Amino acid sequence: MDEYLEALDGDMEQALEALGRELSKVRTGRATPKLVDGVVVPVASYGTSMPINQLATIQAPDARLLTITPWDKGTISDIERAILAAGLGLNPSNDGQLIRVPVPPLTQERRRELVKMAKKAGEDSKIRIRHIRREYNDMFKAGEKDGDISEDDCRRLLEKVQTATDAFVARVDEVVAKKEAEVLEV
């Protein structure tokens, strides 16, 4: 049963990592290459869509600017259009070689919207963690019903599952609170 508890921790850790990836896309007042990580570029010349990080080098030379250097200069306008269409509130401009994306300072209203997005991502992560808890609880209860696990062992395992769930939910709250403070920082 210890293997199952280790798997439970691994599954919940994955939910926490997914939250981290989701929150990295939430913009703070600072430029970071992760801002455009989720942008998928439909490249007309290739006849397919590709993530922006597979088409260009993305850098943040200072806190208010992203530079995107496409490896194939023919994709520069496709990348620019994809950034505009992504709804990130960014306005790229290019000089034929390089795309500059100034990152404007956040308004108070936009900061509140971003905090809501972060809290929603946190809530979604908590739902995933609770779903994992339910799966393991059901598995342990079925094991008890089949006679594979004693009633005392089942109760002990259910308590451990709940303890792990509480710990991961607390970690989610910490991560979201940290991101909220980062977004609200002027």
Domains and CATH numbers, the chain: 2-24+107-184 (1.10.132.20), 33-102 (3.30.1360.40)
pLDDT at 183 over 80: yes
Q: What is the mean pLDDT of residues 94-122?
A: 88
Query: What is residue 121's predicted lDDT score, i.e. its pLDDT?
Result: 93
Main-chain phi, psi angles of 66, to 5 degrees: -110, 140
Tens of pLDDT, residue by residue over 119-174, are 999 999 999 999 999 999 999 999 999 988 899 999 999 999 999 999 999 999 99
Give the β-pairing of 99-102 and 93-94.
Answer: antiparallel
pLDDT of the residue at 137? 94
pLDDT score of 186 = 63
Question: pLDDT for 6-18, tens place per residue?
Answer: 999 999 999 999 9
Task: Find the angle CA(29)-CA(121)-CA(118) to the nearest 5 degrees.
Answer: 25
Cα separation, 161 vs 154, whole angstroms: 10
Helix axes 151-184, 2-24, angle to 10 degrees: 10
Asked whether the whole model's pTM tops 0.75, one would answer no
Average pLDDT, integer, range 84-112: 86
**Mind listing the pLDDT tens digit for each residue in 17-71?**
999 988 887 777 778 888 888 889 998 778 888 899 889 999 999 888 999 999 9
Average pLDDT over every residue of 98-124: 89
Average pLDDT of span 81-85: 90
pLDDT reported for residue 103: 85
Instruction: Report pLDDT for 43.
Output: 86
Three-class HEC string of the chain: CHHHHHHHHHHHHHHHHHHHHHHHCCCCCCCCHHHHCCCEEEECCCCEEEEHHHCEEEEEEECCEEEEEECCHHHHHHHHHHHHHCCCCCCCEECCCCEEEECCCCCHHHHHHHHHHHHHHHHHHHHHHHHHHHHHHHHHHHHHHHCCCCHHHHHHHHHHHHHHHHHHHHHHHHHHHHHHHHHHCC
Q: At 111, which amino acid appears?
A: R
